[in-house]
Amino acid sequence: MKTYCVIGLLLLFASFCLKVADVKAFDIPPGVYRIDQLEQAVKDATSHHKEIVFLYSDEKTTCPLCARASTAIMDKFKPNSVVVYFDKGGWQKAPAIVRDAANSPAAGKYIPITIIVNSGMTEVVSIIPYQRPGK
């Protein structure tokens, strides 16, 4: 009987862990493009003469600071630019100019990393690293 209880508890614990792993720390708001929608984002930026803000982050992060910073970045830039979100799964889909900027020392070592490029994606306008509070 003890064996069945232990197995049952382990299965319950495993299912709880899997459920927790699927929880997103933040949602991508409407109006923010995902990297799979890059072509449409570029068209939008070009037609409205806006810069493109690439946000590299992890929507399933366990870090509440990263989650808050990511949503704050999207909220801040969305009204005046075109925002494109990507994570490690979309890394190869990001333009080389964005990947190079994100890998530069100026980008820092913590996520989120924000890269702003012109609408033609030919020039990096700004690199905004995440700075931990109090650092």
Q: What is the mean pLDDT of residues 7-18?
A: 42
- pLDDT tens, position by position, 26-36: 999 999 999 99
Residue 28 and residue 14: Cα distance in Å, rounded?
Answer: 28
- pLDDT tens, position by position, 36-89: 999 999 999 999 999 999 999 999 999 999 999 999 999 999 999 999 999 999
Residue 76 carries which side chain, given as an amino acid letter?
K
* Phi, then psi, of 34 in degrees rounded to 5: -95, 160
Distances (CA, A) of 98 to 88, 112, 125, 127, 129: 13, 14, 11, 9, 13
The CATH number, out of the four listed (3.40.30.10, 3.30.465.10, 1.10.260.30, 3.10.105.10), of the domain defined by the range 24-128: 3.40.30.10
pTM of the predicted structure, to 2 decimals:
0.81
Pull the structure tokens for residue 73: 């970045």
**Cross-strand partners of 128:** 114
